[in-house]
């Protein structure tokens, strides 16, 4: 059960309820996609008229609109929202709190939001990580829609940094996909949470649980689900998203010396899909290298192991723009940039720079806006703006106005969520290469009462349909950030 405390004023309507309705139909903001990647949106948006019947179907299924946040780091997995019309400056005490709830469980999963549904995962047992489940809430008031336990959840997963799932659910069509800390992957019906299919990355595909538990958020690309079991049977795995049947795994069991195989152990980074020239590929960083595998068959296209990834955790999601791929790690490892060139169905990775100490990030992530990457670096403990294609050790600007934290961007502003659990500070700052310019800050009105051990506030902030969602373990907050 969920304890719900509502702060709804009745004056705000989610973006999905504010579509322009006419007698013949509605106008729906649609992000164009390619046939090969219907869930990967492109920057350019256009307005399309949809007959009323079709519009009703869209609004009652899991199809994401331009302001939804259907997966880890948003529509394009880059931490950037396409939403506009948000507050440019916050009141002194922060934006209006719409509701807050206490989830019957703990974890670091960020919310995924499509239409009026919010999906998040948690574990009932805060001392042993047992009882993992996926939860669907109504975004209007935080009330529970359904709750489904994941398979094999009686074993749990616990480290010194806390218990509970780390992965963010992925919503696609009528289904939501969720990965547990122990590698139990489920596909659930978004309407009632009923199980469509389920597999185990360890039992079914020879995966090895990384030290802090499986933490990646699975990718849906066309008809495929892509994830990272890691290990001797193949680092990366493609499943049929409708059935859970294996399409390929990135190792050839009949050829142990195959150059097309990759058997690195899983890390904590989530996969990015990219078209480099005419070659569609899946890019990630494993426990030991940056890699790209061919989308059609899982064969290794390129692998570079120059950056020292033998650190406690390799987590930040790669940033891919054009034919450049940027990677970063924490614990002193640093960052690197590759230029990718494809020809005759293959891809070559050329190192632009590596072992660069400028950007060091454990798992708070970075955001790219134009030619600049923004976020918190452990190199000096500061928020920075970095001209990433230029490289070097210098920053465009730097600020110590806020401690280490995660970041996302919406409507030209950064939403920065500091990890310090004593304060739970949230800051709104302009996305501007000219300098750090705050437009508001506040602290969470309540902090988690569950023993954190060595963990902190590590769930990333989410903005969807005019609302800001923040999580501190069992506490979930919803704020109104829509401009008036």
Give the helix/strand (H/E) hosting 101. Answer: strand 96-102
pLDDT value of position 40: 34
For residue range 403-421, what is the model confidence (pLDDT) as tens digits? 999 999 999 999 999 999 9
Helix, strand or coil for residue 58?
helix
Confidence of residue 34 (pLDDT cuts 50, 70, 90): very low
The pLDDT of 21-39, averaged and rounded, is 34
The pLDDT of 332-339, averaged and rounded, is 95
Backbone angles phi, psi at 390, to 5 degrees: -75, -35
Q: Are 381 and 365 in contact (CB under 8 A)?
A: no
Rounded Cα distance between 429 and 437, Å, is 5
For residue range 111-165, what is the model confidence (pLDDT) as tens digits? 999 999 999 999 998 877 889 999 999 999 999 999 999 987 777 776 777 778 9
The pLDDT of 221-249, averaged and rounded, is 97
pLDDT value of position 22: 30
pLDDT at 13 over 90: no
pLDDT at 55 over 70: no
More confident residue, 239 or 307: 239
Per-residue b/e over 277-290, b at no fewer than 16 CB within 10 Å?
eebbbbbbbbbbbb
pLDDT value of position 425: 98
The pLDDT of 302-329, averaged and rounded, is 92
More confident residue, 430 or 306: 430
Residue with tokens 């060091």: 360
Rounded Cα distance between 341 and 238, Å, is 24
The pLDDT of 37-51, averaged and rounded, is 35
pLDDT value of position 288: 93
Per-residue b/e over 225-264, b at no fewer than 16 CB within 10 Å?
bbbbbbbebbbbbbbebeebeebbbbbeeeeeeeeebbbb
pLDDT value of position 64: 59
Helix, strand or coil for residue 199?
strand
């Amino acid at each position: 059960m969920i304890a719900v405390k509502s702060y709804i004023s009745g004056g705000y309507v989610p973006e999905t309820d504010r579509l322009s309705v006419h007698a013949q139909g509605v106008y729906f903001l649609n992000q164009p996609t390619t046939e090969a990647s219907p869930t990967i949106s492109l920057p350019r948006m256009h307005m399309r008229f949809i007959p009323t019947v079709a519009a009703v179907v869209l609004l009652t299924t899991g199809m994401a609109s331009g302001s939804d946040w259907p997966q880890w780091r948003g529509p394009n997995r880059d931490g950037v929202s396409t939403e506009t019309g948000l507050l440019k400056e916050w009141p002194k005490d922060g934006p209006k709190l719409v509701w807050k709830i206490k989830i019957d469980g703990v974890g670091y999963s960020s919310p995924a939001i499509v239409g009026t549904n919010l999906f998040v995962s948690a574990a009932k047992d805060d001392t042993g990580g047992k009882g993992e489940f996926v939860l669907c809430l109504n975004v209007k008031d935080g009330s529970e829609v359904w709750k489904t336990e994941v398979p094999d959840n009686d074993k749990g997963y616990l480290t010194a940094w806390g218990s509970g799932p780390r992965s963010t659910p992925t919503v696609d069509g009528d289904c939501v996909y969720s990965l547990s800390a122990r590698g139990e992957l489920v596909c659930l019906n978004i309407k009632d949470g009923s199980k469509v299919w389920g597999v185990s990355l360890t039992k079914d595909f020879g995966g090895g649980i990384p030290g802090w538990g499986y933490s990646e958020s699975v990718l849906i690309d066309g008809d495929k689900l892509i994830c990272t079991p890691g290990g001797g049977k193949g680092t990366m795995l493609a499943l049929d998203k409708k059935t859970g049947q294996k399409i390929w795994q990135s190792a050839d069991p009949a050829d142990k010396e195959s150059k097309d195989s990759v058997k690195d152990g899983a890390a904590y980074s989530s996969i990015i899909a990219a078209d480099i020239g005419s070659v569609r590929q899946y890019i990630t960083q494993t426990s030991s290298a940056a890699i790209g595998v061919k989308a059609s068959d899982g064969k290794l296209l390129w692998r570079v192991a120059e950056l020292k990834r033998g650190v406690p955790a390799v987590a930040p999601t790669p940033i891919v723009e054009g034919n450049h791929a940027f990677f970063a790690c924490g614990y002193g490892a640093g960052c690197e940039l590759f230029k990718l060139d494809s020809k005759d169905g293959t891809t070559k990775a050329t190192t632009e720079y590596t072992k660069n100490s400028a950007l060091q990030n454990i798992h708070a992530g970075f955001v790219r806006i134009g030619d600049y990457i923004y976020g918190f670096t452990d190199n000096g403990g500061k928020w920075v703006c970095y001209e990433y294609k230029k490289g070097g050790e210098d920053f465009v600007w730097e600020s110590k106005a806020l401690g280490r934290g995660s970041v996302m961007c919406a409507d030209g502003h950064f939403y920065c969520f500091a990890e310090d659990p004593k304060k739970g500070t949230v800051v709104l700052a302009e996305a501007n290469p000219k300098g750090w310019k705050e437009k508001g800050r506040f602290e969470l009105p309540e902090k988690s009462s569950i023993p954190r051990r060595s963990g902190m506030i590590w769930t990333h902030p989410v903005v969807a349909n005019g609302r800001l969602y923040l999580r501190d373990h069992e506490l979930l907050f919803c704020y109104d950030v829509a401009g008036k």
